[in-house]
Amino acid sequence: MNAPTPAPPSVPPAQARNPLHGVTLEAMVTALADYFGWQGLGERIPVRCFQSDPSVASSLKFLRKTPWARAKVESLYLFMLREQRRSGG
């Protein structure tokens, strides 16, 4: 007699409350640029892709190769979400 196979979990418990889960890097960069502007983003994370002729495409290219910068973007994105929640928008 075969035992029934368990159904796979839909979302792992560790990811259930992770605000970054399912958010692409492109969505983060776009949201940050909309919220802070490229100049404000470049002031908060001083990297050339945000300060000199910034674009989403150039930022993604740099951030995908640079883990420390990506971590800063993720951290600033979480900060932005907290600020939006506090201000109600």
pLDDT per position in the chain (89 positions), as tens?
A: 566 665 555 556 666 688 888 999 999 999 999 999 999 999 999 999 999 999 999 999 999 999 999 999 999 999 999 999 998 86
pTM: 0.79
Q: Are 10 and 69 in contact (CB under 8 A)?
A: no
Considering the domain boundaries, does residue 82 fall inside one?
yes
What is the distance between the alpha carbons of residues 43 and 64, in angstroms, rounded to a whole number? Answer: 20
Structure confidence at residue 19 (pLDDT): 84
Q: How far is CA 71 from the centre of its chain?
A: 9
Q: Are 80 and 71 in contact (CB under 8 A)?
A: no
Structure confidence at residue 17 (pLDDT): 81
Considering the domain boundaries, does residue 36 fall inside one?
yes
Structure confidence at residue 27 (pLDDT): 96
Structure confidence at residue 80 (pLDDT): 96
Q: Residue 51: give the domain boundaries.
A: 25-87
Domain count, the chain: 1
The CA radius of gyration of the chain, in Å to the nearest whole number, is 17
What is the distance between the alpha carbons of residues 68 and 36, in angstroms, rounded to a whole number? Answer: 20
Other CB atoms within 10 A of residue 46 CB: 10
Structure confidence at residue 8 (pLDDT): 55
Considering the domain boundaries, does residue 17 fall inside one?
no
CATH code of the domain containing 32: 1.10.720.30
Considering the domain boundaries, does residue 73 fall inside one?
yes
